Copies of this chain bind each other. A is one copy, B any other.
Amino acid sequence: MGWMKDEAGLEKNAANYVPLTPLSHLARAARVFPERDAVIDGAHRTSYAEYHARVSRLASALAGRGVASGDVVAALLPNTYPHVEAHFGVPAAGAVLNSINIRLDVSTVAYILDHGEAALLLADTQFLPLAEQAIAAMDGPPPILIEVPDAAAGHPATGRYTTYEDLLAEGDSDAAWIMPKDEWESIALNYTSGTTGRPKGVVYHHRGAYLITMGTPISWRMVLYPKYLTIVPLFHCNNWCHVWTMPAVGGTTICCRDITAPEIYNAIADEGVTHFGGAPIVLNMLVNAKAEDRRSFDHVVEVFTAGAPPAAATLAAIETMGFNVTQVYGLTEVYGPATECTWQEHRWGDLTGEERAAIKARQGVAFPNMDNITVMDPATMDQVPMDGTAQGEIMMRGNSTMKGYYKNHDATAEAFAGGYFHTGDIAVQHPDSYIQIADRAKDIIISGGENVSSVKVEGVLMRHPAVSLCAVVAKADDKWGEVPCAFVELKEGATGDADEIIAFAREHLAGFETPKQVVFEELPKTSTGKIQKFELRKRAKTL
């Protein structure tokens, strides 16, 4: 401990200690880069000076509507500019942003509004029925409802509520922001989309949000003035905190309401997008896009992908198209990405195809802003051997980790048992320390006493030329207990032959690993592109 013999007079003061908060980035950007493009959403283009002024208006208007420090402001919004502005305007009012997944059902939204005690709700006109029904279904007092129309997207104002722009007009573009006095104050409340039971409210602190914004530019090879496309929903870990990062690097945030191949290609070609994050399904969309939906560009686009390892075939295709793909991995509880598969050209530069994909399939190493992320036996909290074989649970420690679950002491204590955040994900750690998920614990299929990795089986199926997307789950079997069952989305124009696909899989897998059944149909997905395996498990029971 570095306390010197005489530390008198060396205490913290206003000059040498300022609570960490991403709000500081926008305040600085408005001074340093006032005229640069800050937020682009179709015809809406604001400079940093305008962005800052609008955020000040929002913050002061919220205060005028009675939103007090520590109150929760909820949002039911797609990736539009009001949602981006709310990421600064809500905390600048001292309030806590609760971005709610727009795909949720009425009952769950009502639960979240009740549980978070939202004081005000910003709802896109498209999701106004959901908002209204959820408010009607609440037990507690309803939030003030502000309507956020998006006429350009076909959702003009209904006229029934104060609109977002009307709200801003109530504010003051020069209003002072309420900055945190303590960096442990809360900045966001994000409900996990649990597959069972009620969602849990993950609470983010200003400190953690600031620190991930400082680590991300290093991880993402980001120099000043990036152009960032918001494919990751803003209600998903606050867009992996990227909208908070942009002002730190003078970057431009380009909104993406509807995620289609033409929209992404146009943003790359017309706005010069340099960075985006998204699930592998987005990569597939780009690879499989029709010729007329594509645009040419001559720069490299840095892509963070998460949710599942990118398939070798996808990687091989997309990397020749101008995209550099890095897998990241994380959870809502750690502000989005917490590990990255940092590429090391001197180690792996010569690898191609499957071998290259095998490296890029790893979840990798801790972000620079995180501390220790490792694989442990949860019973003993001992690290498992770094041999690429021994399995354990991924455990995380670091400053971009949630405060805990809101009003849920038991779940918080359980998640933090032993001084680490327990991810629930089962992984191995390679000799070079890179982590690789073996399986989500619930994704392991146990067939005849043998563990089958659904990730491994999926990786094989993705190499089949007709397969666009697939998921493998357990199906009950009288003889083996469980057997792998594959659900497959075919590429456009391809026809499916289950026997042929099973034979293909058998060439690359052990008998017990080979799917016994292949079903061709569209896969159920969450709003963030994650395949909903629990739905497939239900479906497998009916086969």
Contact A15/B401 with A4-B203, A28-B368 known, Cβ cut-off 8 Å: yes
Residues of B close to A406: CB separation below 8 A: 4, 6, 10
* Chain B nearest Cβ from A16, distance in angstroms: 4
Q: Are A15 and B224 in contact (CB under 8 A)?
A: no
Q: How extensive is the interface on chain A, given as a class?
A: 35 or more
Residues of B close to A12: CB separation below 8 A: 184, 403
What are 8 A-to-B residue pairs whose CB atoms are below 8 Å? A1-B178, A1-B181, A3-B186, A15-B401, A15-B419, A15-B420, A18-B399, A218-B249
Residues of B close to A427: CB separation below 8 A: none
Over the window 62-73 of chain A, the binary record of Cβ atoms lying under 8 Å from chain B Cβ atoms (1 yes, 0 no) is: 000000011010
Q: Are A95 and B18 in contact (CB under 8 A)?
A: no
Q: Check if A142 is an interface residue, CB within 8 A of chain B.
A: no
One of B178, B186, B218 near A7 (C-beta < 8 A)? B186
One of B10, B18, B25, B412 near A203 (C-beta < 8 A)? B10
Residues of B close to A403: CB separation below 8 A: 7, 10-12, 16
Considering the complex, which residues of chain A in the window 39-97 have a beta carbon less than 8 Å from any beta carbon of chain B? 69-70, 72, 91, 94-96
Q: Check if A5 is an interface residue, CB within 8 A of chain B.
A: yes
Assembly CA distance A222 to B224 (angstroms)? 10
* Chain B nearest Cβ from A368, distance in angstroms: 5
Q: Are B18 and A397 in contact (CB under 8 A)?
A: yes
Q: Give the number of copies in the complex.
A: 2
Considering the complex, which residues of chain A in the window 1-42 have a beta carbon less than 8 Å from any beta carbon of chain B? 1-18, 20, 24-25, 28, 31-36
Q: Are A224 and B224 in contact (CB under 8 A)?
A: no
Over the window 159-195 of chain A, the binary record of Cβ atoms lying under 8 Å from chain B Cβ atoms (1 yes, 0 no) is: 0000000000000000000101110111101000000
Assembly CA distance A287 to B496 (angstroms)? 68
Q: Are B368 and A416 in contact (CB under 8 A)?
A: no
Most buried by B among A14, A95, A96, A189: A14
Assembly CA distance A237 to B189 (angstroms)? 40
* Chain B nearest Cβ from A360, distance in angstroms: 16
Residues of B close to A408: CB separation below 8 A: 9
Most buried by B among A7, A186, A408: A7
Assembly CA distance A24 to B372 (angstroms)? 9
Q: Which residues of A contact B (CB under 8 A)?
A: 1-18, 20, 24-25, 28, 31-36, 69-70, 72, 91, 94-96, 117, 178, 180-182, 184-187, 189, 203, 205-206, 208, 211, 214-215, 217-218, 221-224, 248-249, 342, 344, 346, 365-366, 368-369, 371, 396-399, 401-409, 412-413, 416, 419-421, 432-433
Q: Are B2 and A95 in contact (CB under 8 A)?
A: yes
Q: Are B214 and A18 in contact (CB under 8 A)?
A: no
* Chain B nearest Cβ from A215, distance in angstroms: 7
* Chain B nearest Cβ from A454, distance in angstroms: 28
Chain B residue nearest to A409 in the complex (CB) = B9
User: Which 3 pairs of residues, A with B, have the shortest CB-CB distance?
Assistant: A14-B419, A2-B185, A16-B401
Q: Are B117 and A18 in contact (CB under 8 A)?
A: no
Residues of B close to A432: CB separation below 8 A: 34
Residues of B close to A222: CB separation below 8 A: 223
Residues of B close to A371: CB separation below 8 A: 18, 24
Assembly CA distance A94 to B396 (angstroms)? 25
Assembly CA distance A406 to B402 (angstroms)? 36
Known: A12-B403, A214-B368. 4 other contacts (CB 8 A): A4-B203, A5-B70, A9-B412, A217-B218
Q: Are B9 and A180 in contact (CB under 8 A)?
A: no
Q: Are A96 and B10 in contact (CB under 8 A)?
A: no
Chain B residue nearest to A207 in the complex (CB) = B17
Q: Are A18 and B178 in contact (CB under 8 A)?
A: no
Residues of B close to A95: CB separation below 8 A: 2
Assembly CA distance A433 to B48 (angstroms)? 14
Chain B residue nearest to A422 in the complex (CB) = B15
Assembly CA distance A543 to B413 (angstroms)? 77
